[in-house]
Amino acid sequence: MTYQQTVNKIHSFLRFGSRPGLGRITKLLQLLGNPHKGLSCVHVAGTNGKGSVCAMLSSVLKNAGHKTGLFISPYVVDFRERIQINGCMIPETQLCEITAQVLPFVEEMAKQNEIITEFELITTIAFLCFKRQNCDVVVLETGLGGRFDSTNVIQTPLCSVITSIGLDHTAVLGSTMEQIAFEKSGIIKPHGNTVFYPQQQSVNAVIERAVTEQKNTLFYADKVPLSPLESTIKGTILDYNGQRLLLPLIGRHQIKNAKTALQTLQVLQKTGISISASSIADGFSQVFLPARMELLSSRPVVLLDGSHNPDGLSALADVIRTYLPNKKAVCIMGMLRDKDSISSLSHISGLFSTLITLTPQNPRALPAQTLAQEAKTCFPNTIAMEDPAQATEKALSLAGADGAVVCCGSLYLAEQLRPVLLKTCLLYKSDAADEH
């Protein structure tokens, strides 16, 4: 198969949906020789922030000279973002080779009515890649939850990391913070280390109980001596024990994520992994995370964010209030129908002169017209559109050269919009320059 045929084949398994459980992937991995066993992993779960923490960890570990695997989801620009080695995406040829190796076993299981899902297939491909490349450390982000997530087949990791917990995927993970925390805490394995950023007491109690039951050592990330020195829409300068760190990620919430990453790095150092102060500084300065409050343009300001739940939209609102207080701002938004759109909209109410809704390219998408109707109470000026290019042009026109366009609501929408935004911004800047 060609590369595109391979990606299309992988995506074809999406039709089997998300079916939590470890039995299917455990069997598939056994058939392939258990490539996940023996990998040294940092396992990261959470509702918000896990992508940022994974990006920080992998960047620092790479700069420290360790061959570092990174598994994330979903992707924004290129499917191969999901599987990386030292910051480089898996080569197309290797993805094709490994997929071809796996598919016969998948087909054999299907004959026994054991149907592999898309995420299980991608996770298996990732494990085979990391094993083949002899990675020193693998930074492993969960897809959904933790306890029954496909990544949770690994043995006790170097460190289990749990970031911010909020209400998301409630149909699968539970309707309360405590239930969701229980599912996330499922990545805590016997006799390991756990890093956690404490939240409300009831959530803390769930994590602490899991730590005790699994005889783990618990490290609270809020204890890390980290403070902001300077913060702009381009990033934050931090003081870490007298060391200046530049983090090119936007928002005060990233300080919590940075503390979580730094605490995890301290734990890794205790396990014998060498990490110098300079590799921490270099790693932080090189962090790149597409569609996580990504600044695509400064004039006009164009901010692309995949926030898709109330906590994520609350963090985005804080960024807008902090860095764009006097700018005419227009929002382009699209969401999936299984997300809490009403609560998410309430967090950004009053921050935009106009809201433009789009339908993300996903079977679970909330139609633009439906989102527009829901938004009317918060945003009197709401426009439902279907074409991303037209929506982008409309938003830029309404905001003006000195305004701001913010895109949010779904990483699937971000995937659609990012190339359009980059192209349109370049054209818009060119036109603006011609006018002067």
**Predicted confidence band of residue 15 (pLDDT cuts 50, 70, 90):** low
User: Percentages helix, strand, coil for the chain, rounded to the nearest 5?
Assistant: 45, 20, 35
d(C-alpha 47, C-alpha 120), whole Å: 20
Burial 419-430 (b: 16+ CB within 10 A, else e): ebbeebbeebbe
- Asked if residues 264 and 223 have their Cβ atoms less than 8 Å apart, the reply is no
One-letter amino acid at 339 equals: K
pLDDT digits (tens, 9 = 90+) for 17-55: 667 789 999 999 999 999 999 999 999 999 889 999 999
Maximum Cα interatomic distance, the chain, rounded to a whole number of Å: 69
pLDDT digits (tens, 9 = 90+) for 270-279: 999 999 999 9
Statement: residue 375 has pLDDT above 70:
yes
Q: Whole-number mean pLDDT of the chain?
A: 92
Question: Mind giving me the DSSP string for 182-196?
Answer: HHHGGG--TT-EEEE
The pLDDT of residue 363 is 85
d(C-alpha 272, C-alpha 239), whole Å: 25
**Predicted confidence band of residue 16 (pLDDT cuts 50, 70, 90):** low
What is the pLDDT averaged over residues 432-436?
Answer: 36
Query: Coil, strand or helix: which one is 235?
Result: strand
Helical axes 118-132 vs 92-111, angle rounded to 10°: 130
For residue 199 the two structure tokens come to 């939240």
One-letter amino acid at 378 equals: C
The pLDDT of residue 362 is 86
Cα–Cα separations (whole angstroms), residue 85 to 38, 97, 138, 396: 17, 16, 9, 37
Q: List Cβ neighbours of 407 (8 Å cut-off, separation of 6 or more).
A: 302, 303, 304, 305, 331, 332, 333, 413, 414, 417, 421
The pLDDT of residue 174 is 66
Instruction: Return the top range by mean pLDDT from 28-32, 176-180, 300-304.
Output: 28-32
**Predicted confidence band of residue 158 (pLDDT cuts 50, 70, 90):** very high
Q: What is the CATH number of domain 294-435?
A: 3.90.190.20
3-state secondary structure 364-423: CECCHHHHHHHHCCCCCCEEECCCHHHHHHHHHHHHCCCCEEEEECCHHHHHHHHHHHHH
pLDDT digits (tens, 9 = 90+) for 383-395: 999 999 999 999 9
The pLDDT of residue 108 is 96
Residue with tokens 């918060």: 378
Q: Where are the alpha helices (DSSP H) in 64-200?
A: 92-111, 118-132, 170-173, 177-184
Give the class (CATH, top level) of 3-285.
alpha beta
- Name the DSSP letter for residue 293: S
Statement: residue 435 has pLDDT above 50:
no
Exposed/middle/buried for 186, CB within 10 Å: 0-12, 13-18, 19+? middle
Query: Coil, strand or helix: which one is 257?
Result: helix
- Asked if residues 49 and 253 have their Cβ atoms less than 8 Å apart, the reply is yes
Statement: residue 434 has pLDDT above 50:
no
- Asked if residues 115 and 16 have their Cβ atoms less than 8 Å apart, the reply is yes
Query: Coil, strand or helix: which one is 354?
Result: strand
The pLDDT of residue 356 is 97
Statement: residue 197 has pLDDT above 80:
yes
The domain segmentation of the chain, as residue ranges, is: 3-285, 294-435
For residue 139 the two structure tokens come to 């930074």
What is the pLDDT averaged over residues 347-356?
Answer: 94
The pLDDT of residue 145 is 81
**Predicted confidence band of residue 333 (pLDDT cuts 50, 70, 90):** very high
For residue 49 the two structure tokens come to 């922030």
Q: List Cβ neighbours of 41 (8 Å cut-off, separation of 6 or more).
A: 137, 138, 139, 140, 154, 157, 158
The better pLDDT of the pair 166, 426 is held by 166
The pLDDT of residue 221 is 97
One-letter amino acid at 347 equals: H
pLDDT digits (tens, 9 = 90+) for 132-147: 999 999 999 998 888 9
Statement: residue 268 has pLDDT above 90:
yes
Cα–Cα separations (whole angstroms), residue 36 to 3, 108, 188: 24, 20, 17
- Of 100-109, 219-228, 409-418, the one with minimum mean pLDDT is 409-418
The pLDDT of residue 339 is 85
The pLDDT of residue 47 is 86
Statement: residue 94 has pLDDT above 90:
yes
